[in-house]
Amino acid sequence: MREITANKFRAALKSCADQSIADHEPLRVTRKRGKDFVIIGAEDWEQIQETLYVLQNTSLMQQIKQSLLTRRSGKGYSPTKEQLDEINNI
């Protein structure tokens, strides 16, 4: 994670925000007095929240686990080449 002082951040707010959004990389703003804070793009924040929701949902995690086990055992659904081509618009 990149870091910047609060003074430098204040002077370059727009470019710091634009870079964090474009690079999908949070920016930690450090302060001499007070706690540090982090700048992150809204899209990235929403993705993090969705990931946390999935990880905290035990029923959904159990379904994912069962799906992985089914796939690894070779018992899962496998589309034909024609079906894959249709899905991929080929």
Q: Concatenated DSSP letters for 10-21? A: HHTHHHHHHHHH
Residue 20 in contact with residue 41, Cβ under 8 Å? yes
- Write down the pLDDT at residue 28: 98
* 2-42 topology per CATH: YefM-like fold (3.40.1620)
- Write down the pLDDT at residue 89: 85
Among candidates 70, 15, 14, 23, which has minimal Cα distance to 44?
A: 23
- pLDDT tens digits for the chain (90 residues)? 999 999 999 999 999 999 999 999 999 999 999 999 999 999 999 999 999 999 999 999 999 999 999 989 988 888 899 999 998 987
| Domain boundaries along the sequence of the chain | 2-42
- Write down the pLDDT at residue 77: 84
- Write down the pLDDT at residue 43: 97
